[in-house]
Structure 1
Amino acid sequence: MIRSTSLICTLLLSAAAVAAPQPIEIPFIEQAAIIDGKIDEPIWQSAQEILIDNVTWPHENIASPVSTKALVYENGEALFIAFIAKDPTPKEIRAHYRDRDKIWNDDLVGLKIDSLNTSQNAYQFFINPLGVQLDSIENELTKNENSSWNGIWSSKGEITPDGYRVEVKIPLRVLNFNDSQGTKQMAMEFLRFLPRDERLRISNMQLDHNNSCWICQMPAVSGFASAKQSNNLTITPALAIAHTQTRDIDDAVVPDFESDTDYEPGLDVKWAVTPDTTLNLTVNPDFSQVEADTGQLSVNNSFSLFFPEKRAFFLENSDYFSSHLNLVHTRNVSAPDYGIKATSSKQGHTFAGFIANDDSTHVLVPGNLGSSIVSLEQKSENAALRYRYDANDQLSIGTTGTIRQSEDYRNQVLSIDSKYRPTKHDTIKLQAITTDTQYDQHFIDEVCDDDPIESCEIDESVLRVQNHGDQQGLGYYASYEHNRKHWRAFGSYRNYDAALRADLGFISQVDFNKFVTGFEYRWYGDESNWWNRANWYSDWDISHNEDGELLEKEVQSNFKVQGPLQSIIQVGFDHRKRTGQRHDETLLEIDGNTDMFTENFQWMYLEMKPRAGVFAGLRLNTGNKLDIANNRLGQRYIVKPTLNFNLGRHFEVKLRHTYERLEHDGENVYTANLSDARFTYQFGINSYVRLALINLDIERNQHKYIDDVDSRYKKLSTQLLYAYKLNPETVLFVGYSDSGYQDDDLSDITKDNKTFFAKFSYAWLR
């Protein structure tokens, strides 16, 4: 285990109060360094030297066991950093050639930049010893990190006999900053991550673990007197080609494939209209997914699955749309012809808005016991607006508005939210939502699969869209948290009435109110312990519908300890009383129309990273679980192993499997297996080839089901992809994907879709 070389220094640092960070002066030097990882130019001798010598995690402010320094300067157009990272055992350095943003488990150096110095957002730039990049945006409002954000910047790394060196150039055009005359002030933290037996976070500053806001503690830097954000313009033309073969294999005789070839030119434009305002325009974009989504199992689930956004146009400054609730989830816009987005941030005022159409309309219809998707074969218009005012580090107030509409449907949302930190220990969050939704008869017919309403199979989604007299919805959310170094206590309450709809966001449950309260206690290990951190967490919650009928009551608790080999051991239990499905689906009532079931299950999670390029995880779950399809209690078993490993620096294997089995009265109800395997050979920093295989296999005991079901369902999806990325916007993708399935009418897996695709885009920077 890596330990401090000086026990006396460690004890003194741990006992001392966290010192206030001292301001850092960033010198101006006109000459631009050559980014080659050598750090041999005389220019670096005039740069500001910053020591990265304080371990801030998992320990609190102890001396670093390794030597690291950063050399920093700016020339008005870019920020230049050279990292010199010493290592007494260079053979243990963890570094692999990976695709961008896939290097979190490697050795890393980098920095965080709060370029507006508002303590609300921070750009993160990290680099492994081979020069592979990872960047993201940390959002203090939501406590999330958006790793899908990609800036265009340069880096080069080189492993040396005594460690490694990295050179970095970050053009100021990728940052939002105050464009006023004279010296400017930002906040920055310089970091090194050292993953060995522990994963040490080493910083140039001290971090107060008694303060949950880390961005607020970053030291100020001054300089950039001549820095200007001119009208930066990025023009990215693109061409996407797809040759698709499809067929309907539900027929008794499987037909031949029908082919279609589609050529789609597109254009993306990014323009800094003013130093504080950016305009994004996309015309005829290719919004298809280049990389297959991770497989998810939904064999005993009544609510819709969530998939993250991956598309560049929507990801640009997507954190500007964030609030406490997910009101803007752009994967709802599936196939637009155009999109326009404007974002701005200046002196605490943040604005964001976009407009995009969609060739089709997919609407999530939520309820309190389940949700479903309705698809309309008609175009829709989509728009979102977001404004936030950050009065200071303690208070933020924002408002969000969205609209989705087509010929047969409209949804409007207006929300106001705030976050207040009266002290560094206390956080209060509030949000209120009002919505207006109109469904016409065609929309209702689509819910019923075009059957007449009198012969429609009634379920909750049909009842929710038929309630014409209840178009205006209201919801609100409130939470309070008190967070200390060793413990935190929290409580929250949310209430969504039956008519609430946020169709451009992701709210899959309505007609409920939920109260949650909980407590967490943390332990910190020292030099004498085999573990470095441990925590116990517990919460209790209760949910009712708006008529006051009980939906669910739950208590859960878990204990986690982190130890050698970067290991995690976590065990927990859940005790839950919940309603089953409705006996009479034509009624929304709960009392007298459902049964109450008691679920008790236990779980364990194990994880370790024993050596470079190896990750192993295992999740186990067993106990009583509601069999939703048959409205009874069963015994469920879940096993989820994960194994990722590298063969050398270039070849990576990622294996994930989910085994789920449900039994009732000792007989099998279903057995489901989901396998996700991905094999990647990374030729260098810029290119790779990847094979992805996702296999689903579900066996059902038809005698244990109320409704008719297939006794066997199999699905296999494959994708072979070659990618070359000069930068995040200048890319070449060439690939092939197919999928097929088997049910009781087919003797084996039969392909119903094959696609050959290519995409090329080139970013012109002006």
Structure 2
Amino acid sequence: MSSRLLADTVDIPNLSAQLVVDGQLNEAVWQKAAAFRLNYVTFPYDNIEPPVQTTAFVFYDAHYLYVGFKAEDNTPERIRSHLKDRDMVWSDDLVGFKLDTYNNAKFAYQFFINPDSVQIDSLANEFDKTSADDWNAIWKASAQLTPNGYQAEFKIPFDQLSFVDSTQLKNWKIELIRRYPRNLDYHISNVKKDKNQECELCQMQNIRGFTKATTASQLLVTPTVSLIRQKQREHWQADNWQTDDSVQLGADINWQINSNSKLNATINPDFSQVEEDSAQLDVNTTYSLYYDEKRRFFVENSDQFGSLFDLLHTRNIAQPEIGVKFVNRSEKHSFATLLTNDESTFVQVPDILSSRIVEYQHKSTNAAARYRFDSSKYFSIGGLATVRQSDNYHNHVVALDSKYSLTDSTAIEGQIVWSDTAYPDSFNQTDPKSGSAWQVKLNHNQRNFWFNAEYQQIEQNFRADLGFVSSVNRRHQKVRAGYVEYDQQSAWNQFEFWLGGEKKSTLDNQPIEDNVEIQFNVKGPKQSRISTGAGIQHKVGRDLQQGLFNTNFAFFYGEMNLTPTVFSSVLLLRAKAVDYANNRQGDKFQIQPIVKWNLNKHLNVEVIHTYENMDSAGDDLYLVNLSDLRFSYQYNHSHKSSLSLLYNNIKHNLQNYPNSDPAKYQKLSAKFVHSWRFDAFTAAYFGLSVNMINNEVLQQLTTQQKAVFFKVSYTF
């Protein structure tokens, strides 16, 4: 094999391949591939010699990129690998690579597999430092255990990638990576990493070739059928069940127009949501809860719409019937647009100290467009526009943003946004008309010192109804600085101390919140992390004129892999807090333990429990126990059963909480799903769900809603 280790630029050979992707690098063509040694531990240490040997091999033909790995291990019995859903094995042993096909250090594809051949694919975005696991491609990979470790083969179709489609010599970047989780979680790479550089994608290996790489227009059509039977009743009407049977048809269309452009269209996108939302506390809060998007059409390429303000949160589009999304990426330009309808319009109405959701029972049209120009690895500028339009209602938003790297360690970014809004009379809200918002951030990251500062301002009449901006008439200032020390000789390998302060006020300088916080963090053996800190904080209640309450706090957080198969963490919080119901000061205590246990390759259990209680006026105010319990059994790569149980138990002291809901309230939600997922798009699901409630009137958990559904999608 031709070894060209860490040359400035490595030539990737064009080879004719007739190989079976089985994880065994026994075909002769691998002997001619470009070879790379993974010689550097880039995390948690600085480019030291790795504890294991890893070699990667790369070549291509006209239609595919091929990457192979030989991952040697002195103790192969300790290899961590599990059968789980796609993109859910980040804590396992992994091999894979990042690929920047435009060589502009702004965006990279990521492909990984574990030794059980479970795939991970995602998009790394240097602009906002995110990694989008929700991106899915169709590609092949396989791994095989060996007496001395394991081997892996990747076969990536060029029509799943975006690049300059020409016969000219192409210059790309690659980083070949091995994740080796033992007492520490080693990240092993073929390139050195400089912690004094703020840009990570700039530090990848230059490769060239791919003159014969071609891509063809590809059309994938995925029709979907869903059968749903749902029964529900008011809990006080024991025999009055309302039954709703429905057969719903939908389809997704994915058209890869060329190597730069992709068009997605959908009809009835994900009308039966398979995944259960995570449990969240909804007590003693004045703002609407934030839920992640899970519908595939909206999730795919959602990173293209990212910005400093959250201006596109597609969970706001509650009941779409049809949607179209177009994405184009090139070396310096990226463009994305989204257009959908919505059968019922839900609008978040923000205020200074609270927000509420209003349902406007009219259809609406929803659109977004995002453009970004990356003139170099140092400078980007872009724009974002959203539109929400209905009868007697509209919200139009236009934004400009930019990011500039002053040095390799320092970057400044900012965004300015304008909105124009008209509310219908049914909102019982003053028509906000036009408003604006802007913010600027400065980030400085060096090996041993970091600093960031942020200033944000939102006018009273600003609205971003397709996004998630829950408060207005705000001025927010934040500064933080930290010192980090690394120990190259010890399992206790990273120590960090930081100090920061922030202040929130109205635009006419009425105080809302201020705090000064210190925090100490350490990383150590068994992949442990400990964080502890305290803050001097003051916060307003429901009345700006009443002044600020003392809300000082202290916390402890610790996490650790107790064994190779058991992860555990715990959060402890003691704080002064605002009793918003009575607009007075209280005392809050919260503990949140988490346990994730891989009982074997197939069975996984996750438990998250939150206990919170609050005292006010010298007596109990409320007590909450919130449990999120999930079981999953993965039979093989495509076949899985899962059960989720969400339990919420709230008790109020009515003598101290006279304006509360009932003194006792319980809710139990259960969902069972049996699934077959054959690739990124073809799948079948069978599921059951039950929702139960209890209060002081019912005196027992009573079923309020139950449903059964079957959903199948097939890609042509």
Give the shorter-chain TM-score range: over 0.9
Who is 1:277 aligned against? 261
Contact 1:619 1:640 in 2 (8 A): yes
Who is 1:685 aligned against? 637
Is residue 571 from structure 1 mapped to residue 532 from structure 2 by the alignment? yes
Q: Output the CA distance in 2 between the equivalents of 1:210 and 1:287.
A: 47
Q: Output the CA distance in 2 between the equivalents of 1:343 and 1:216.
A: 24
Label 1:36 to 1:410 Cα distance change in 2 as closer, same or farther (>3 A): same
Question: Within 5 A, what are the aligned runs for 1:39-438?
Answer: 39-249=25-235, 251=236, 253-438=237-422
Q: Deviations over 1:216-256 (max 9, x none)?
A: 1112211211112221211111111111111122x4x3343
- Deviation at residue 125 of structure 1 after TM alignment: 1.0
The partner residue of 1:499 within 461, 467, 471 is 461
Q: Output the CA distance in 2 between the equivalents of 1:666 and 1:148.
A: 48
Who is 1:450 aligned against? none
- Deviation at residue 272 of structure 1 after TM alignment: 2.2
Q: Secondary structure at the match of 1:62?
A: coil
Contact 1:196 1:611 in 2 (8 A): no
The partner residue of 1:542 within 498, 503, 513 is 503
Is residue 658 from structure 1 mapped to residue 599 from structure 2 by the alignment? no
- Deviation at residue 274 of structure 1 after TM alignment: 3.3
- Deviation at residue 100 of structure 1 after TM alignment: 0.9
Is residue 672 from structure 1 mapped to residue 633 from structure 2 by the alignment? no
Residue 527 of structure 2 aligns to which amino acid in structure 1? Answer: Q
Q: Secondary structure at the match of 2:556?
A: strand
Residue 653 of structure 2 aligns to which amino acid in structure 1? Answer: N
Contact 1:264 1:286 in 2 (8 A): no
The partner residue of 2:483 within 521, 545, 553 is 521
With the length of structure 1 as denominator, give the TM-score of the two structures. Answer: 0.91
Q: Output the CA distance in 2 between the equivalents of 1:316 and 1:647.
A: 32
Contact 1:652 1:681 in 2 (8 A): yes
Q: Output the CA distance in 1 between the equivalents of 2:575 and 2:501.
A: 19
Residue 287 of structure 1 aligns to which amino acid in structure 2? Answer: F
Q: Secondary structure at the match of 1:569?
A: strand
Q: Deviations over 1:660-707 (max 9, x none)?
A: 000124421100000011111110111110011000000000011141
Q: Output the CA distance in 2 between the equivalents of 1:471 and 1:362.
A: 19
Q: Deviations over 1:573-614 (max 9, x none)?
A: 1221111112xxxxxxx3xx3231011111000100133221
After TM superposition, the structure 1 stretch with the greater mean CA deviation from structure 2, 203-212 or 312-321, is 312-321
Contact 2:35 2:55 in 1 (8 A): yes
- Deviation at residue 506 of structure 1 after TM alignment: 1.0
After TM superposition, the structure 1 stretch with the greater mean CA deviation from structure 2, 318-327 or 724-733, is 318-327
Q: Output the CA distance in 2 between the equivalents of 1:486 and 1:596.
A: 36
What fraction of aligned residue pairs are identical, expressed as a percent?
A: 36
Q: Secondary structure at the match of 2:655?
A: helix
- Deviation at residue 214 of structure 1 after TM alignment: 0.6
What is the CA RMSD across the aligned residues, in angstroms?
Answer: 1.4
Who is 2:676 aligned against? 724
Q: Output the CA distance in 1 between the equivalents of 2:637 and 2:253.
A: 26
Mark the runs of 5 or more structure 2 residues left unpaired by the alignment. none
Q: Secondary structure at the match of 2:89?
A: coil
Who is 1:713 aligned against? 665
Q: Output the CA distance in 2 between the equivalents of 1:225 and 1:708.
A: 69
Q: Deviations over 1:262-319 (max 9, x none)?
A: 1111111111223322111112333332110111112121111111112211122211
Q: Deviations over 1:83-140 (max 9, x none)?
A: 1100000111111111111111111110011122221111111111111111211111
- Deviation at residue 21 of structure 1 after TM alignment: 6.3
Contact 1:562 1:568 in 2 (8 A): yes
Is residue 614 from structure 1 mapped to residue 566 from structure 2 by the alignment? yes
Q: Output the CA distance in 1 between the equivalents of 2:660 and 2:681.
A: 49
Q: Secondary structure at the match of 1:275?
A: coil
Q: Deviations over 1:300-359 (max 9, x none)?
A: 211111111122111222111112221111111122110011111123111100100011
Q: Output the CA distance in 2 between the equivalents of 1:181 and 1:43.
A: 23
Q: Secondary structure at the match of 2:59?
A: strand
Q: Output the CA distance in 2 between the equivalents of 1:758 and 1:710.
A: 36
Residue 574 of structure 1 aligns to which amino acid in structure 2? Answer: G
Mark the runs of 5 or more structure 1 residues left unpaired by the alignment. 1-18, 445-464, 583-589
Q: Output the CA distance in 1 between the equivalents of 2:330 and 2:631.
A: 44
Who is 2:588 aligned against? 636
The partner residue of 1:599 within 551, 558, 564 is 551
Contact 2:439 2:454 in 1 (8 A): yes
Who is 1:10 aligned against? none
Contact 1:106 1:195 in 2 (8 A): yes
Contact 1:248 1:255 in 2 (8 A): no
With the length of structure 2 as denominator, give the TM-score of the two structures. Answer: 0.97
Contact 2:226 2:272 in 1 (8 A): no
Q: Output the CA distance in 1 between the equivalents of 2:85 and 2:351.
A: 40
Q: Output the CA distance in 1 between the equivalents of 2:13 and 2:310.
A: 42
Q: Output the CA distance in 2 between the equivalents of 1:709 and 1:595.
A: 27
Q: Secondary structure at the match of 1:306?
A: coil
Is residue 481 from structure 1 mapped to residue 443 from structure 2 by the alignment? yes
Contact 1:21 1:206 in 2 (8 A): no
Contact 1:645 1:652 in 2 (8 A): yes
**For this pair of structures, how many residues does the alignment match?**
712
Contact 2:617 2:656 in 1 (8 A): no
- Deviation at residue 491 of structure 1 after TM alignment: 1.0
- Structure 1 runs (4+) greater than 3 angstroms displaced: none
Q: Secondary structure at the match of 2:41?
A: strand
Contact 1:497 1:510 in 2 (8 A): yes
- Deviation at residue 557 of structure 1 after TM alignment: 1.6
- Deviation at residue 736 of structure 1 after TM alignment: 0.6
Residue 608 of structure 1 aligns to which amino acid in structure 2? Answer: M
Contact 2:652 2:660 in 1 (8 A): no
Q: Output the CA distance in 1 between the equivalents of 2:599 and 2:576.
A: 41
Label 1:740 to 1:377 Cα distance change in 2 as closer, same or farther (>3 A): farther
Contact 2:183 2:526 in 1 (8 A): yes
- Deviation at residue 181 of structure 1 after TM alignment: 2.1
Who is 2:423 aligned against? 439
